Copies of this chain bind each other. A is one copy, B any other.
Amino acid sequence: MPLIAINFKAYPQSMGELGLKLAKFCETVAEETGVTFIVCPQQTDLKFVASQVSIPVYCQHIDAVEPGSCTGHVVAEAVKASGAEGTLINHSERRLRVFDIDWLVKRCQSLDLDTIVCTNNVDVSKASAALHPTYVAVEPPELIGGDISVTTANPEVVSGTAKEIKRIAPDVKVLCGAGVKTGEDVRVAVELGTEGVLLASGVVKATNPKETLYELVKEV
């Protein structure tokens, strides 16, 4: 069964109560279909959502600092305390220093938090895999936010990345982080060697998000 992670980003459609409602939709579809859904609420909603749903909740970003005098930062320990089970790291909209990615992956491991490191091409995917996160999510820039789907556009970026990562770090799992819109895309992403997908606007900005969730899992 594939994994489907939904990044809520900072869209108006996923703020506060709307974010909770969206997470509840994912919970319902997860229960009905057996597919694993991970939700990544907005930073300020993390504990609010995590304390009200039973599916895994991930943070969208954490800062490479220790708990203490660091006003306005999100530390791994606070993510853990919120009840979340993991975090995105190095999303294309929140790029991090390689030094900090290394630090964060190790910090999260010590707290038993999963990590999804986002990358933009084969080389950066290999570099990230060398740091041993739980997942590497490949987001080829040409697929981000556009209408091009991973099933039609060159699928070699995804399958090639999956192959290279297995070679360097066989323990690291791969997600398809862009170009996923339909249930067919989810199926193909898995066929290309990934464990699942990470998507955002396709669900969050959908006219009927719940319907979109059902659509995504229909070929599973």
Q: At the interface, yes or no: A34 with Cβ under 8 Å from chain B? A: no
A-B contact pairs, 10 of them (CB 8 A): A10-B67, A10-B68, A17-B81, A18-B81, A43-B72, A44-B46, A71-B94, A98-B124, A102-B127, A127-B130
- Could you give, for residues 62-103 of chain A, a 1 whenever the CB lies within 8 Å of some chain B CB and a 0 otherwise? 000101111111110111011110001011111111111110
- Other than the given A43-B73, A73-B94, 20 more pairs (CB < 8 A) read A10-B67, A10-B77, A18-B81, A44-B59, A44-B78, A44-B79, A45-B82, A47-B48, A48-B48, A61-B73, A71-B92, A90-B98, A96-B97, A96-B98, A97-B97, A97-B98, A102-B123, A123-B130, A129-B130, A130-B130
Q: How many residues of A contact B (CB 8 A)?
A: 66
Can you list the 8 inter-chain pairs with the closest CB atoms, starting with the nearest?
A: A61-B72, A16-B81, A72-B94, A47-B48, A44-B46, A98-B98, A126-B130, A127-B127
Q: At the interface, yes or no: A194 with Cβ under 8 Å from chain B? A: no
Smallest CB–CB gap between A142 and chain B, Å?
Answer: 15
